Amino acid sequence: MNGLPILPLLLWGTVAGLDLASVLQGLFNRPLVAGMVAGAILGDPAGGLRIGAALELFALDVLPIGASRYPDYGAATVAAVALAAGRPWPVGLGPAVLLGLLLAQLGGWSIVLHRRVTAGALRREMPAIDRGDAGAAIRVHQAGLLADLLRSAGLAAIGLTIAGVLSGGPLFDPATARVLTVVALAGGFVAAIGGALRRAGTARRIAWLGAGLALGALGFGLR
């Protein structure tokens, strides 16, 4: 992890994790935003944007609502960008996306744990809440915020540590890294199209989706 601005990355990963549900909700948790800011911290905003865009393809179908279980891409994207820092994008993108996807799933597990911690705090304060004690509700709320702060900071720390350990590993063998990049991009497009089809619903919306994809492909081909 030599040369990485660890503290700014850790703080940004924590903020991105908190933004998912607890506070702010200013889209800082989206991989596109989290990756671009992490890249700017590392002096490579374009590289961070590429990695964020690739992970965004996987995250498009995530809806952080209710009691559903979903990955947390905020701190995961920050760690992914840190892993690929200073490398050409064809070599760095694949390993970074792989790390981001794995950390996002770990983040999803941590969200379930956070809910259990908050539910335990609620059970302890329930008698006071039933008596109308406003302070009890505030304590439950504060406990939930503190637990999510620790969850987000812990996920960011784990991700940055793994990025430091893997930075000189075999994942960055040129041939291996390029294969991972192709697989990551192909998987991202498949995930994005699958999510779009599930959300489109009606045949009319699917038709509009197909038209948009065709125009996008045409524009890309004419570049």
Q: Is the pLDDT of residue 182 over 80?
A: no
Residue 11: predicted pLDDT? 92
Stretch 47-57: mean pLDDT, rounded? 87
For the chain, percent of residues with pLDDT exceeding 70: 74
CA distances from 9 to 51, 151, 161 (A): 15, 15, 11
Stretch 126-143: mean pLDDT, rounded? 80
Residue 171: predicted pLDDT? 60
Question: What distance in Å separates the CA atoms of residue 189 and residue 183, rounded to the nearest whole number?
Answer: 10
Burial class (CB in 10 A: 0-12, 13-18, 19+), 69: exposed
Confidence category of residue 37, pLDDT binned at 50, 70, 90: very high
Q: What's the N-to-C CA distance of the chain in angstroms? A: 38
Which SS3 state, helix, strand or coil, does residue 211 take? Answer: helix
Confidence category of residue 170, pLDDT binned at 50, 70, 90: low
Question: What distance in Å separates the CA atoms of residue 221 and residue 217, rounded to the nearest whole number?
Answer: 6
Residue 164: predicted pLDDT? 80
Q: Is the pLDDT of residue 145 over 80?
A: yes
More confident residue, 12 or 143: 12
Rg (CA), the chain: 20
More confident residue, 177 or 9: 9
Confidence category of residue 22, pLDDT binned at 50, 70, 90: confident
Q: Is the pLDDT of residue 110 over 80?
A: yes
Q: Is the pLDDT of residue 2 over 60?
A: no
Please give the mean pLDDT across all residues of the chain. 79
Residue 142: predicted pLDDT? 81
Residue 78: predicted pLDDT? 92
Stretch 64-79: mean pLDDT, rounded? 80
Question: What distance in Å separates the CA atoms of residue 128 and residue 190, rounded to the nearest whole number?
Answer: 50
Q: Is the pLDDT of residue 200 over 60?
A: no
Q: Is the pLDDT of residue 160 over 70?
A: yes
Question: What distance in Å separates the CA atoms of residue 42 and residue 86, rounded to the nearest whole number?
Answer: 9
Residue pointed to by tokens 């994008």: 89
Confidence category of residue 77, pLDDT binned at 50, 70, 90: very high
More confident residue, 54 or 187: 54
DSSP letter at 133 equals: -
Closest CA to 152 of 187, 111, 97, 124: 111
Q: Where are the alpha helices (DSSP H) in 74-202?
A: 74-83, 89-130, 134-166, 174-200
